[in-house]
Amino acid sequence: MSTSMTASRKLLLAGGLVLVLWAMSFGLWYALFLEHRMLERMGGALATGFAQAADRKMEDAHASLATYSRTQFDYVRQVDVHSHWGGLAILLMLLGLAFDRVGFSERARTALAALLVAGSFLFPLGVLLQTVDPGAGPKALGAAGAAMVILALSVVTVGFARGERTS
């Protein structure tokens, strides 16, 4: 049986596919051009810090440890962003397949789909921007994106339950 695809499903499927391509391209670029440098810098800074402490150059040692902490801060976020964009993309496409089962009007479903797509892009983007500016702005963007995804998914869960009751 053929059924026409609703706008909310189109939005989630297309948004998810674009996001998964974006996530993989980011991962490939990161693996090719940045990851090895980050790992070398992180390991080098920590080892150098201990060697400097052994030489009793304590100021240098603390500076090396600070470099290690800063690099690790960036590395953790860069890897997290790759996995979160990819994971959220898969979730968007999965929800896109089943979105007609959400027991709300198509208008409400389209608004939920838009919230999910926007949150899925903005949340990791905010995390990534923290590596450039560790201030409040990127943190707020990441938190807002995460809140959008959690809120939308909570409403979708209720919608699935309503859809099952009415089907």
Partner 1 sequence: MLVMGGIALIAAGMLLGDLFAVFVLHQNAGRIGEHLMAATDAVTAQNPQAALQNFAAIGRRLESRGTKVDAHAHVIAFGYLALLLALLQPCLALSEAARRRLAQLFLAGAVLLPVSVFLIHYVGLEYSPLESIGWASIAADFGGLLVIVACAGYGVGLVRHLGRGGSADDSLLRDRSRSARLLLAGGTLLILAGFLHGAYYAAVDLAEHEARESRILSTMVERAAQKDAAAAHQAVADYGMLQGEKAVAIAAHSHIIEFGLLAILMAFLQPYVMLSEPWKQRWAALLLSGSVVLPVFVLAELRLGLVAGGIADFGGLMVIVALLGMLVGVVRYTGGLDAGRPAP
Q: How far apart are alpha carbons 60 and 16 in whole angstroms?
A: 47
Residue 61 is a binding residue for partner 1 (CB under 8 A): yes
Smallest distance, partner 1 to C-beta of residue 156, A: 7
Q: How far apart are alpha carbons 62 and 50 in whole angstroms?
A: 9
Residue 15 is a binding residue for partner 1 (CB under 8 A): no
Q: What is residue 130's three-state secondary structure?
A: coil
Smallest distance, partner 1 to C-beta of residue 107, A: 18
Residue 40 is a binding residue for partner 1 (CB under 8 A): yes
Angle between helices 58-98 and 7-33 (to 10 degrees): 150
Listed in sequence order, the residues at least 6 apart from 142 whose beta carbon sits closer than 8 Å to its beta carbon are 122, 123, 124, 125, 126, 127, 129, 130
The contact set with partner 1 (CB under 8 A) reads: 1-5, 9-10, 13-14, 17-18, 20-21, 24-25, 27-28, 31-32, 36-37, 40, 43, 46-47, 49-56, 58, 61-62, 65-66, 68-69, 72-73, 83, 86-87, 90-91, 93-94, 97-98, 100-101, 142-143, 146-147, 149-150, 153-154, 156-157, 160-161, 164, 167
